[in-house]
Homo-oligomer: A and B are copies of this chain.
Amino acid sequence: MLRLACDYQEGCHPKILERLVATNMESTAGYGMDPYCESAREKIKAACGNPDAVVHLLVGGTQTNATVIRSILRPCEGVVSVNTGHINGHEAGAIELGGHKVLTIPHVDGKMVAADLRRYLENVYKDAAWQHGVIPGMVYVSQATETGSVYTLAELSAISEVCREYQLPLFLDGARLGYALMSEGSDMTLEDIARLTDVFYIGGTKVGALLGEAVVFRNAGLAKHFFTIMKQGGAVLAKGRLLGLQFDTLFTDNLYMEISRHAIDMAMKLKNGLKAKGYTFFTDSPSNQQFIVLENEKMAELAKHVAFTQWALVDENHTAIRLCTSWATSEETIDAVLSYL
């Protein structure tokens, strides 16, 4: 079976594995107090160009979203997201478990539009009864989005501006951040992300690590008591160095960006191959997730050879499917998948 169902189906990058093996019997302090975590945090701060940043290492994406959002919002506040946001549909109510509502606005190609955000916020406060509703307390975006689209620098800057005008912290979910930064036509750097947001995370699970997400707060004020809030949410890893070693490796010699670039190369090879064969795309994605529309019969046939994700019912006879590349995808796999399409 060829697998392009998701970007978390292999283990970790071989360089990470090497270091795990090399350090396995070392004895270190737990809970992120070891030298590997310390080194990883420093490298990430440097890569973000922000010496005041505070970095914490968590295990997974839903956990990270829920913990960050819970740490920022006060009671009665909600988080604004597009309706297709991961926190709205794919996290089993993790935000609500923390006592907060996800306030949704429509998306355009999976992305939030700054003008829509502004209009939404204006309307909230125009309503005479706004004090009876959930109060917007922060804004959530993903880079790349659920449907593979990627914010441009101008787009994210405009959202950031609205957030600052309304004094709402901007949180960017970067579960696939490497793939976004290396995507076709991307005009943004990690430093831009760090500058335009108040808190974001750098996804490891989908980009070369066994597990792990690195949260970057703009400053210590925003991160107050964050370690204990993580602990309360079951998000502190006892053998924290497992996270430190991975991010330290990923942020050495530009590895994170290089392996992300590879995934994009594979995605573009796949996309071009599909285009050449005349497939209809469900979205026009420049990143590592590609979505095409298949007749249901064709889809059933493909499923015998390739693992993919059924994404959406298009009509009675057609379904949109997702094919994902990652740091681990080989050219041979792409060739083989294309041969079945």
CB within 8 Å of B: which residues of A? 1, 3, 5-6, 8-12, 14, 17, 20-21, 23-31, 59-64, 66-67, 70-71, 74-78, 89-102, 128-129, 131-135, 205-206, 210-211, 224-225, 227-229, 231-239, 242, 307, 309-310, 328
Contact = CB atoms under 8 A, between A and B. Distances in A.
B67 A93 contact: no
17 contacts: A8-B30, A11-B20, A62-B236, A74-B225, A75-B225, A76-B93, A76-B229, A92-B232, A93-B99, A93-B100, A94-B231, A95-B96, A96-B101, A97-B98, A132-B228, A210-B239, A211-B237
Contacts of A3: 27-28
A228 B92 contact: yes
A289 to B, nearest CB: 15
Given A234-B233, A239-B11, A328 B210 contact: no
Contact of A77 (B100, B133, B225): B225
A242 B205 CA distance: 12
A21 B12 CA distance: 10
B133 A90 contact: yes
A234 B65 CA distance: 9
Contacts of A128: 309-310
A167 to B, nearest CB: 12
A330 B236 CA distance: 27
Given A11-B26, A71-B74, 14 more contacts: A14-B24, A27-B328, A31-B132, A61-B238, A63-B235, A90-B129, A90-B132, A90-B133, A91-B132, A91-B232, A93-B232, A96-B96, A210-B239, A211-B242
Nearest to A63: B234
Nearest to A205: B238
Contacts of A67: 234
A296 B225 CA distance: 30
Contacts of A97: 75, 98-99, 232-233
A94 B232 contact: yes
Nearest to A232: B92
Contacts of A92: 76, 131-135, 228-229, 231-232
A232 B24 contact: no
Nearest to A310: B128
B225 A135 contact: yes
Given A24-B10, A132-B91, A134-B93, A231 B71 contact: no
Contacts of A9: 27-30, 239
A232 B59 CA distance: 14
A34 to B, nearest CB: 9
Contact of A238 (B74, B93, B211): B211
Given A8-B30, A25-B11, A92-B132, A75 B237 contact: no
A62 B24 CA distance: 24
